[in-house]
Structure 1
């Protein structure tokens, strides 16, 4: 049974693959609920450790989807469960991964200081050796510091994650929720560098992120487009920024709640009222112009 649940967690770890978040969430919770009774059964120490590890993975993935759907309070609850399970498993890298992922909840919903604290805890747990968890934690820290206006710390974290990426093994670069693939790296750097106002570097990393994103990665592509729109606005091309953001958000068949909406609304509010195309963006977002 443990082998079955380990393979189930591995299967879920490959992400959305074009599926609607609600469908992915339903499948994850169904499997988690079916697995949960094992926690109440007598286990050997070895099997208990394995079960706690899988529980941390499964609960963490549920939390990721809830976060992407905008259910940040529920996401925190599931991350708490995942963190406890990871801690009981004794695996510091899993625990660091959970904290790094959890840090993205306050980061994306307006609490960069809280995000930075969680990211630094994750960096401490991950240690100095190259790992997917260490790279994730540094990447999230760079975004949190940039969002909070702490430029020096943000640039230091950007340098740290870029050094780590060069040392990751192919397994650590796996394109899963547990890995830190090159595509994911460029997505994180797109946001960090956008917030830092380094638009020349940002355009390059956005282009690379899009080249590496699979066709079904609708939310990722939309978030990169909204970052690009923010860079255009920073560079003074506000009309094009409104157009790019409206098109990116309007073309989404799903994922319109949560993170994509938060980013698009933030851009809309930052644009001057007389910006050409701002009303079109308001219409797509269904907010008062």
Structure 2
């Protein structure tokens, strides 16, 4: 193709739509183009269709190296491989390059099904057979699966930053399993564990107030969940991700994510489907869509009644009764239905352990919101101040602080001269 005037013109103008389209037209799949250029096959296909572009210098360099386009044609310095033989020996290190592997196989098959060609085919088949059927069930992977289950039980009185450090350390332990060929069943286990751990890391970051980092980790969790084929895990990740915009001032975005989670989870009862409906109820309440909110509450209640005992366990990865009432508390508080809000708050507190610092604080702030809605703003402020002053230092930022600020912002200016409101403002500022 380097001798084709159209191709050279496209290269000189960095017209990668034409470059990728012509490469594909010459029989190179988008999978191979993507693998060679360090991008997903879907992105390579979009570039070829003109739906995506290549502008970053490092991406241009990867395309040059992956497709073996001399640097001078792209306005780059000579690439390192230009100083070596253009046709590497099959046993050289470059033989592992995906583009070279294909060329070598084509060359071997051009002469027919010779011994050399059959050997190349056998090597390719056996390498995949090995990955599919190898009896590898490393004990370390089982340990990491057990660790993910243990993390699901929450903070247990530990500082969020400590839990985060431990989670990230164990998550890193999954990398060797993701990098090496694995049997399909093992790969599913690895991706599922990666999705769970990345999702829980995102939860802790969300609780600490690191919204942008939380979204990045949720994206990683979503990718792993999709690859695992576990749609309930994928729906759980989306529903938990919806809680980031929900709790940090973007309820419409939260509603969209929650509805996406509900669609992925399906209509059958599951922890993920129930969580998604409850989060949707909270989001709609904050969007001032009370009818949608109450419909979502009804759906969540109906699903909750049908959950089996395993799905009702009190963990981050499941959906227990305590968690259900925590969500309903916020939804009903936002809707101004203080009677039902207080009922959910009371039940959630009964089901909370003494070490559930974060949960108990959020429930108490919801209760303060009920006092404010019912007209006792000073009692609301006193209760919120008591919560904030009683929190350990590790819990005074992030989600609890943000929820308290939302309460303060809801207080009309005519109350700002009152001593309790002033004290509330000062504690928040501190």
Question: Which of 388, 399, 408 is residue 249 of structure 1 equivalent to?
Answer: 388
Residue 267 (structure 1) aligned with residue 407 (structure 2): yes
Any stretches of 5+ residues in structure 1 without a counterpart?
Answer: none
Question: Which of 126, 149, 154 is residue 10 of structure 1 equivalent to?
Answer: 149
Counterpart mapping for 1:23-172 below 5 A: 23-172=162-311
Question: Which of 182, 188, 197 is residue 327 of structure 2 equivalent to?
Answer: 188
Helix, strand or coil for the counterpart of 1:10? helix
Any stretches of 5+ residues in structure 2 without a counterpart?
Answer: 1-139
Partner of 2:358: 219
RMSD: 0.9
> For 1:156-208, what per-residue CA distance to the aligned partner results, in whole angstroms no more than 9, with x for missing partners?
00000011111111100001101101000000000000110001111111111
For 2:154 and 2:342, locate their aligned partners in 1 and report how far apart those are by CA, in whole Å.
26
Aligned-pair distance for 1:265? 1.1
For 1:250 and 1:222, locate their aligned partners in 2 and report how far apart those are by CA, in whole Å.
11
Aligned-pair distance for 1:37? 2.2
> For 1:3-59, what per-residue CA distance to the aligned partner results, in whole angstroms no more than 9, with x for missing partners?
121111111111100101000000001111122222101101111111100000010
Aligned-pair distance for 1:60? 0.3
Question: Which of 255, 280, 284 is residue 423 of structure 2 equivalent to?
Answer: 280
For 1:65 and 1:121, locate their aligned partners in 2 and report how far apart those are by CA, in whole Å.
22
Aligned-pair distance for 1:266? 1.5
- Segment drifting more, 61-70 vs 277-286: 277-286
For 1:276 and 1:160, locate their aligned partners in 2 and report how far apart those are by CA, in whole Å.
42
Partner of 2:72: none
> For 1:233-263, what per-residue CA distance to the aligned partner results, in whole angstroms no more than 9, with x for missing partners?
0100011000000101110003111111111
For 2:144 and 2:407, locate their aligned partners in 1 and report how far apart those are by CA, in whole Å.
42
For 1:53 and 1:219, locate their aligned partners in 2 and report how far apart those are by CA, in whole Å.
27
Residue 235 (structure 1) aligned with residue 378 (structure 2): no
For 1:7 and 1:207, locate their aligned partners in 2 and report how far apart those are by CA, in whole Å.
33
Contact preservation (8 Å) 2:174, 2:190? no
Contact preservation (8 Å) 1:238, 1:275? no
> For 1:59-108, what per-residue CA distance to the aligned partner results, in whole angstroms no more than 9, with x for missing partners?
00000000000001000000000000000000100000000000000000
Contact preservation (8 Å) 2:154, 2:316? yes
TM superposition score normalised by structure 2 = 0.66
Structure having greater relative contact order (Cα 8 Å, sep ≥ 6): 1
- Segment drifting more, 220-229 vs 1-10: 1-10
Contact preservation (8 Å) 1:97, 1:136? yes
> For 1:140-161, what per-residue CA distance to the aligned partner results, in whole angstroms no more than 9, with x for missing partners?
0000000111111100000000
Helix, strand or coil for the counterpart of 1:277? helix
- Aligned length, in residue pairs: 287
